[in-house]
Structure 1
């Protein structure tokens, strides 16, 4: 132990414990779903007493919503590139890069979201009806502007967004299938880079942006 290391402050301990709990919760919810998960399972996965979970998150639903909110906010932030990009090539290219990197590093969060939506979004329907609806409308307007300016083919902006989501999140939600088809090995750094470049090329050529 480093004798010169200062003791952790209370807010730092809280942040560390919350991070442990959320990481464990992502894994448990991804494997067991909301119904199959228990606070005890999550506590065991986090290596913390169950009482600690209830100190930070009063109920399983509170914890679940936080997990879903985290991945949702990460995805929303990934689309910031649309606002500053000069056109569809730069915006969509950066978005694909960001979304696929999220699939690589937050695969359990993506699986939790997918499972929730496939079951009719019983817990996070409000996100879909408010934040996601508004975000989608805003990005669709940007894409339509590029279409109107002749910078890409006339495609339905919403269907393009659905395709982008489905393609990039496939690498998380169907990660086991991809690994199996990759001779049982996870994609290497070089393979992830090649996958990103391939997806960008297919999509951007397909919409006539390059």
Structure 2
């Protein structure tokens, strides 16, 4: 079997341009509403040139999701079982909120995939993501049994963290419209509110 040759500098540049353009297009229009022509135009490439790197729209979308999932799981991986429980959970919450601030397109891409039933990423959700969440909920239950944090359902705790933090990326337009033009950056107050909410919830 012939080994795959490493990409040249130009090939790496074009691949990165395609993925960056696809992130813009997919996060705005969703998978079904996006076309290869839109992605090629946004990337500044011809459609035949784009197809040299990726054989289909689905291949681009899957590539983006695979890269995204690893980034998405990193904040939860960093939660240290040997650390102070409330500090570790609050650190996780803050990292998730920072991701919504810094990676809004990625958050919307992931949300769109989930809303469609996760056809291109279900294997990873049922595999790597579930395994990591199972591992961390075991840690949370141990902290609860030791009386270090309040007893709340660990899975629903994680779901609520995802919901509250990712809302600021997935519903950014709504958030900013409701807050009005004077609220230039919603994230400082969001952090204060969410930190207060979960600190009170988790303190025994």
Same fold per superposition (TM over 0.5): yes
Q: Which residue of 1 aligns with 2:32?
A: 35
Kept after mapping to 1: 8 A contact 2:17/2:43: yes
* Bigger mean CA deviation after superposition, 40-49 or 12-21: 12-21
Q: Does 1:194 align with 2:192?
A: no
1:53 Cα deviation after fit: 2.1
Q: Which residue of 2 aligns with 1:92?
A: 89
Considering only aligned residues, what root-mean-square deviation do their CA atoms show, in Å? 2.1
CA distance in 1 between counterparts of 2:9 and 2:66 reads 21
CA distance in 2 between counterparts of 1:140 and 1:207 reads 14
Q: Which residue of 2 aligns with 1:3?
A: none
Kept after mapping to 1: 8 A contact 2:100/2:168: yes
Q: Which residue of 1 aligns with 2:158?
A: 161
Kept after mapping to 2: 8 A contact 1:71/1:109: yes
Consecutive unaligned residues of structure 1, counting only runs of 5 or more, are 1-9
Q: Which residue of 2 aligns with 1:114?
A: 111
Q: TM-score, normalised by structure 1?
A: 0.86
Q: Identify if the C-alpha distance between structure 1 residues 85 and 193 changes in structure 2 by more than 3 Å, giving closer, same or farther.
A: farther
Match of 1:77 among 70, 74, 91: 74
Q: Secondary structure at the match of 1:153?
A: coil
CA distance in 2 between counterparts of 1:73 and 1:108 reads 15
- Kindly provide the CA deviation profile for residues 35-54 of structure 1, in whole angstroms up to 9, marking residues without a partner as x: 22111111111122223322
CA distance in 1 between counterparts of 2:15 and 2:112 reads 23
Kept after mapping to 2: 8 A contact 1:100/1:196: yes
Kept after mapping to 2: 8 A contact 1:34/1:64: yes
CA distance in 2 between counterparts of 1:176 and 1:192 reads 13
CA distance in 2 between counterparts of 1:169 and 1:175 reads 9
Q: Identify if the C-alpha distance between structure 1 residues 15 and 112 changes in structure 2 by more than 3 Å, giving closer, same or farther.
A: same
Q: Identify if the C-alpha distance between structure 1 residues 16 and 201 changes in structure 2 by more than 3 Å, giving closer, same or farther.
A: farther
CA distance in 2 between counterparts of 1:205 and 1:67 reads 37
Number of aligned residue pairs: give it: 199
Q: Which residue of 1 aligns with 2:133?
A: 136
Q: Identify if the C-alpha distance between structure 1 residues 206 and 18 changes in structure 2 by more than 3 Å, giving closer, same or farther.
A: same
Kept after mapping to 1: 8 A contact 2:86/2:203: no
Q: Which residue of 1 aligns with 2:202?
A: 207
1:33 Cα deviation after fit: 1.5
Kept after mapping to 1: 8 A contact 2:68/2:106: yes
